[in-house]
């Protein structure tokens, strides 16, 4: 009998998502490419760097531990336990080497052989954890998934998207629950000039639309035996706790509840009331409404003028590795609706074919 990590697609989805996040964070900001005047491999011969901290070393090790863990479990399906772990640590090391080489082409990044060593060590630790505890971890995760989620195709992809949405809430510079802002990627000018009244209404609409969108997505993933209202109440409590923690840690304790703006105070009850009604609708109609809510929330967030608090929060943001984290959460927030919509289409296709 195959193990849970060998039959589940969740390790593959998580590994792919984590690779994308690491590549983006390692190369952010991805601009100003130029041909280096020296070999891109020259960093391998560099001496021990003059300036370093224990925190930097620990971060470079820590961020690659989950990568080695997930890549090892993903490779286990085809290579087995031990060869899968070897493939996982080699892939993690190769990814670190590749991004260090690419960093030599970016003026804002500095490749480092010490980073490569720390990243590779993290990949090795992750592979060891996969050998010793990977099966038990995913066994427990599969049991929890069986209790909470319906045994339907693509639910694991939906679960990863839900986790990514929670990650977005860590960013204090975005509007509460806001996603799909393309103004950092495309030269889009807000159609609505800033005014307190219009900002208040638009922010409330963004909060309400995104509550409905993510709430209906979570509702579609749930097993029928679960109470959707209770699960959604816990889910949004966790989302607001993540938001509060992110603001407190990254900006300051005084800003922990800065997300509770007048617009948010209006949007939360409106979105909650609409969601409480929509969860009783047939699956196909729930998915259609979720898609409409995603599109409406994306349009509204691109119409909204810049948030003065967001600009202040970004100025107060601690830099260093958190600067990369800022770019990471911004990218995830910008792309999330455009990844979630195809996922909803898959779920709708499944419902329309009588498997809901």
Instruction: Please tell me the predicted confidence (pLDDT) of residue 266.
Output: 93
pLDDT range class, residue 205, cuts 50, 70, 90: very high
Which residues, including other chains, have CB under 8 Å from residue 160's CB and lie 6 or more apart? 10, 13, 14, 17
pLDDT at 353 over 60: no
Sorted by where each begins, the domain ranges of the chain are 4-148, 155-352
pLDDT at 21 over 50: yes
Which of residues 212 and 137 earns the better pLDDT score? 212
Q: Which of 4-8, 180-184, 234-238 has the lowest mean pLDDT?
A: 4-8
Residue linked to tokens 């961020």: 63
Interhelix angle for 113-129 vs 54-62, to 10°? 50
The predicted model gives 33-39 an average pLDDT of 74
Give the highest mean pLDDT range of 85-89, 178-182, 293-297, 310-314. 293-297
Which residues, including other chains, have CB under 8 Å from residue 68's CB and lie 6 or more apart? 88, 89, 92, 122, 123, 124, 125, 126, 127, 129, 130
Instruction: Please tell me the predicted confidence (pLDDT) of residue 8.
Output: 64
pLDDT at 28 over 50: yes
pLDDT at 209 over 90: yes
Instruction: Please tell me the predicted confidence (pLDDT) of residue 1.
Output: 42
Instruction: Please tell me the predicted confidence (pLDDT) of residue 188.
Output: 61
The predicted model gives 263-286 an average pLDDT of 91
Residue pair 54/119 in contact by the 8 Å Cβ criterion: no
The full length of the chain comes to: 356
Which of residues 128 and 108 earns the better pLDDT score? 128
Instruction: Please tell me the predicted confidence (pLDDT) of residue 354.
Output: 46
- Rounded to whole angstroms, how far apart are CA atoms 288 and 355? 17
> Which two structure tokens, joined as six digits, stand for 11?
């390790």
Interhelix angle for 228-250 vs 155-168, to 10°? 40
Give the tens place of pLDDT for each residue, 294-345: 999 998 988 887 665 555 555 555 444 444 556 677 778 888 899 888 888 8
Cβ burial of 341 (10 Å; 0-12, 13-18, 19+) is middle
Which of 26, 19, 22, 117 has its CA nearest to residue 70? 19
- Rounded to whole angstroms, how far apart are CA atoms 271 and 121? 45
Task: Provide φ and ψ at 149, rounded to 5°.
Answer: -105, 150
Instruction: Please tell me the predicted confidence (pLDDT) of residue 267.
Output: 94
Question: How confident is the prediction for the chain on average, in pLDDT?
Answer: 79
pLDDT at 16 over 50: yes
Instruction: Please tell me the predicted confidence (pLDDT) of residue 270.
Output: 95
- Rounded to whole angstroms, how far apart are CA atoms 110 and 24? 15
Which of 113, 104, 72, 78 has its CA nearest to residue 91? 72
Instruction: Please tell me the predicted confidence (pLDDT) of residue 216.
Output: 92
Sequential DSSP letters for 279-290: TTS-HHHHHHHH
């Amino acid at each position: 009998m195959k193990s849970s990590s060998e039959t589940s697609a969740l390790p593959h989805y998580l590994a792919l998502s984590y690779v994308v996040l690491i590549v983006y964070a390692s190369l952010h900001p991805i601009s100003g490419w130029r041909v280096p005047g020296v070999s891109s491999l020259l960093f391998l011969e560099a001496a021990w760097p003059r300036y370093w901290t224990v925190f930097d070393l620990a971060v470079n090790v820590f961020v690659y531990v989950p990568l080695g863990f997930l890549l090892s479990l993903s490779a286990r399906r085809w290579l087995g336990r031990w060869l899968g772990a070897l493939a996982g640590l080699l892939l993690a090391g190769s990814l670190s080497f590749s991004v260090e080489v690419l960093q030599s082409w970016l003026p804002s990044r500095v490749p480092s052989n010490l980073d490569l060593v720390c990243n590779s060590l993290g990949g090795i630790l992750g592979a060891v954890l996969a050998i010793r505890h990977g099966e038990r971890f995913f066994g427990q995760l599969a049991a929890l998934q069986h209790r909470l989620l319906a045994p339907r195709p693509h639910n694991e992809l939906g679960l990863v998207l839900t986790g990514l949405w929670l990650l977005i809430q860590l960013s204090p510079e975005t509007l509460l629950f806001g996603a799909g802002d393309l103004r950092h990627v495309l030269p889009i000018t807000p159609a609505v000039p800033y005014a307190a009244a219009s900002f208040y209404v638009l922010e409330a609409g963004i909060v309400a639309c995104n509550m409905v969108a993510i709430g209906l997505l979570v509702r579609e993933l749930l097993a029928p035996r679960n109470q959707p209202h209770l699960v959604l109440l816990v889910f949004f409590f966790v989302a607001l706790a993540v938001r509060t923690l992110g603001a407190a840690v990254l900006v300051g304790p005084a800003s922990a509840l800065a997300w509770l703006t007048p617009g948010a105070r209006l949007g939360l009850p409106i979105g909650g009331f609409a969601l409480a009604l929509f969860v009783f609708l047939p699956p196909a109609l729930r998915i259609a409404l979720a898609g409409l809510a995603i599109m409406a929330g994306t349009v509204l967030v691109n119409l909204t003028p810049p948030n003065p608090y967001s600009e202040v929060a970004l100025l107060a943001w601690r830099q260093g590795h958190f600067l990369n984290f800022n770019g990471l959460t911004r990218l995830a927030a910008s792309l999330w609706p455009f990844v979630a919509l195809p996922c909803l289409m898959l779920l709708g296709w499944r419902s329309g074919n009588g498997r809901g």
